[in-house]
Amino acid sequence: MNNIDTIIEHAEQNCKSHGSRLTTKRKQVLSLLAQTDKALSAYDLIDLFVKENGEKIPAMSVYRILDFLEAEHLVHKLKLANKYIACSHITCKHEHGVPQFLICSVCNAVKEITVNKSTINELNQSVEQAGFKLVSPQLEINCICNECLATAS
Amino acid sequence: MNNIDTIIEHAEQNCKSHGSRLTTKRKQVLSLLAQTDKALSAYDLIDLFVKENGEKIPAMSVYRILDFLEAEHLVHKLKLANKYIACSHITCKHEHGVPQFLICSVCNAVKEITVNKSTINELNQSVEQAGFKLVSPQLEINCICNECLATAS
DNA sequence: TAGCGAGATGTTACAACATATCATTTATGT
DNA sequence: ACATAAATGATATGTTGTAACATCTCGCTA
């Protein structure tokens, strides 16, 4: 059983365990996201979907499916890039904290990292001092990955 | 001389000092942004522009003007919200570092803060460990401002 | 097992954000 | 005053996302 199948399997269990359904379409979309480390836009997914499954899918459906997958914590929406990525912890058992993302602004590669708790706390202090409350410490940081950096130079 | 005029004055000097021109239109747009602590979209600005100046402005012009103002470091683009805000340091003399933004997801109020240098350094370490390079440590953080928090409860 | 109801998906239209391209106007130096 | 470059206008279109309503499908119950 390969990695993708494992992920889908876990995702399906995950959904079942609280009464939601990972339908065929949802599996297909999740599968597309799980097969890459790049962030994909909804319209990227529409194109990919046709290529992989030889079948069209409406924009509306993709957005609905992405909303569902996000609510299930199976994908993350990167607001900075208006793109989506599979959660890299689907097959983990432990509760995972709030993710931080590094987004390569050249190739859209995304890395989900865990920032030091203390760093986040410090950040939170700055926020509170300014009279705001953190909604979610999800950070999305514009970067260049080492590969693109090497290619460019 | 009120605060807005001071800002515009400074901005104009700023531009002059390296040979670019703060035209009337550009002043008008900057002025609209400087009069609020809310983040405004390009289309918000179009509407406001009509209201304030009784004269239409094409979307294309607004985007061009925003690009110009951004290049002059007079406004910042918040990618998280697809909105724009006047730089809060226009009238400062010192070189200001890369800004961090707290965006109220309810009312769009934005606060430009300066995060501890050491916090940013820690963040940068996490990034480098992951094999990425920070392009710009501009952070945009989803928050709720204390006012909206109070209203909601 | 037929059919009911909820949830999932399809269809169409459109709103909001953004840019490409080419035309016209305005400012500045000679 | 004129040539030139910069700024702005006009039109069309691309991209991202949602509203509203129709249809289909799955799982339950009679």
B46-99 confidence digits (pLDDT tens): 999 999 999 999 999 999 999 999 999 999 999 888 999 999 888 876 666 667
Q: Is the pLDDT of residue A152 over 70?
A: no
Residue A2 pLDDT class (50, 70, 90 cuts): low
Please report residues of B whose CB lies closer than 8 A to that of A122: 115-116, 118-119, 122
CA distance linking residue A89 with residue A91, whole number of Å = 5
Q: Report CA-CA distances (Å) from A105 to A36, A42, A88, A144.
A: 16, 18, 20, 6
C1’ D26 / CA A51, Å: 27
Q: For position B94, what pLDDT does the model report?
A: 62
C1’ C22 / CA B61, Å: 15
Q: Are A145 and B131 in contact (CB under 8 A)?
A: yes
Of A102, A104, A134, the CB nearest to B141: A134
Q: Which of B110, B114, B107 is nearest to B138 (CA)?
A: B114
When scoring A120, A123, A134, A136 by the number of chain B Cβ atoms within 10 A, the one with the most, hence best to mutate, is: A123
CA distance linking residue B87 with residue B93, whole number of Å = 13
In tens, the pLDDT along A77-132 reads: 998 889 999 998 888 766 566 678 998 888 888 888 888 888 888 888 889 999 99
How many H-runs (helices) and E-runs (strands) does chain A carry? 6, 6
- State the nearest residue by CA to the C1' of C8: A23
End-to-end Cα, chain A, rounded Å: 40
- Angle CA B132–B138–B141, to nearest 5: 105
Query: B73-91 as b/e, with b when 16 or more CB fall inside 10 Å?
Result: ebbbbbbbbebbbbbbbbe
Instruction: State whether B133 and A127 contact (CB < 8 Å).
Output: no
C1’ C24 / CA B7, Å: 32
Q: Are A72 and A11 in contact (CB under 8 A)?
A: yes
In tens, the pLDDT along B15-54 reads: 999 889 999 999 999 999 999 989 999 999 999 999 999 9
Query: How far A21 CA sits from the closest chain B CA (Å)?
Result: 30
Of B104, B132, B149, the CB nearest to A111: B132
Domains and CATH numbers, chain B: 3-152 (1.10.10.10)
Q: Is the pLDDT of residue A1 over 70?
A: no
Of B115, B135, B149, the CB nearest to A123: B115
**Secondary structure of residue A144 in the 3-state scheme:** strand
Q: For position A151, what pLDDT does the model report?
A: 75
Residues of B with CB under 8 A from a CB of A: 79-80, 100, 102, 104-105, 111, 113-116, 118-119, 122-123, 126-127, 129-146, 149
CA distance linking residue B56 with residue B25, whole number of Å = 11
Instruction: State whether B141 and A122 contact (CB < 8 Å).
Output: no
Residue with the two structure tokens 């724009």: B84
Q: Is the CB of A61 under 7 A from strand C?
A: yes
Q: For position B2, what pLDDT does the model report?
A: 67
Q: Are A138 and B129 in contact (CB under 8 A)?
A: no
Mean pLDDT on A8-26: 93
Give chain A's radius of gyration (CA, Å).
17
Query: How far A137 CA sits from the closest chain B CA (Å)?
Result: 7
Mean pLDDT estimate for chain A: 88
Q: Which of A106, A91, A104, A113 is nearest to A34 (CA)?
A: A91
C1’ C26 / CA B86, Å: 27
Higher pLDDT, A63 or B141: A63
Q: Is the pLDDT of residue A52 over 90?
A: yes
With a CB cutoff of 8 Å and minimum separation 6, the contacts of B101 are: B76, B78, B80, B85, B110, B111, B112, B113, B138, B139, B140, B141
Q: Could you give the dihedral angle defined by the CA atoms of residues B48, B54, B55 and B56, in that order, rounded to the nearest 10 degrees?
A: 40
Mean pLDDT on B134-153: 81
